[in-house]
Amino acid sequence: LFIIRHPFITSKIIKIFKKQKFNSYNKKFKMFIYVTSVLYLSNKCRRNTNKVLLEEGIIQCIFGISYVIEDFNTFIDDALNVLSEYISPKVIVLKTEEKNLLKRLNERKQLGGSELEHDIKNNKDSLKRGIIIFEKICDELKKYGIKIEEIEL
């Protein structure tokens, strides 16, 4: 529904996706559906209340897509240029040590899971790429006036 109701933003998202190299068309399509479905839910929540808390929001979409493409720097810049208006003016980030993140990801027992979660099982250094991407996203969010509140775990 987001695609139909917001054709201008959707066309901008399509342009961003066309510039990126994914390892398959299916992955690109899956990530496009991912971001537009989260945008739909975000818009729907905002119409009903002035407070929105999404466990899987726009920032997580940007992270997930950035992790599976080659040039995450350009993607993050382009994505936030279009999507920053859909992000809350204040974002809470839960911080912990790298070893705790690794332990948490390795202990997950659910089906599916993230690309990062799967990669860590084969290469512990994959977490470093994830951390670099997340730090880049946080730095860029600040440029859009989005306040980052860090809570240590």
Q: What is the pTM of this model?
A: 0.84
Please tell me the predicted confidence (pLDDT) of residue 79.
95
Position with higher pLDDT, 142 vs 86:
142
What mean pLDDT do residues 109-113 have? 67
How confident is the model over 83-97, as a mean pLDDT? 87
Q: For 30-65, what is each residue's pLDDT tens digit?
A: 999 999 998 888 877 777 666 655 556 889 899 999
Distance CA 149, CA 37 (A): 26
**Residue 108 and residue 97: Cα distance in Å, rounded?**
17
Instruction: From residue 34, give the alpha-carbon distance in Å to each of 40, 94, 117, 143.
Output: 10, 23, 18, 25
First to last CA, the chain: 37
Quote the pLDDT of residue 31.
92
Tokens (6 digits) for 95:
């911080």
Q: Are strands 147-152 and 90-95 parallel, antiparallel or unpaired?
A: parallel
d(CA 133, CA 63): 7
Per the structure block, which two tokens stand in for 105? 């990801």
The CA–CA distances, whole Å, from 94 to 11, 13, 29, 84, 85 equal 33, 28, 30, 20, 22
pLDDT confidence tier of residue 124, bands split at 50, 70 and 90:
confident
Best CA proximity match to 8, nearest among 83, 72, 80: 83
For the cut 90, the answer to whether the pLDDT of residue 90 exceeds it is no
Q: How far apart are CA 92 and CA 51, in angstroms?
A: 14
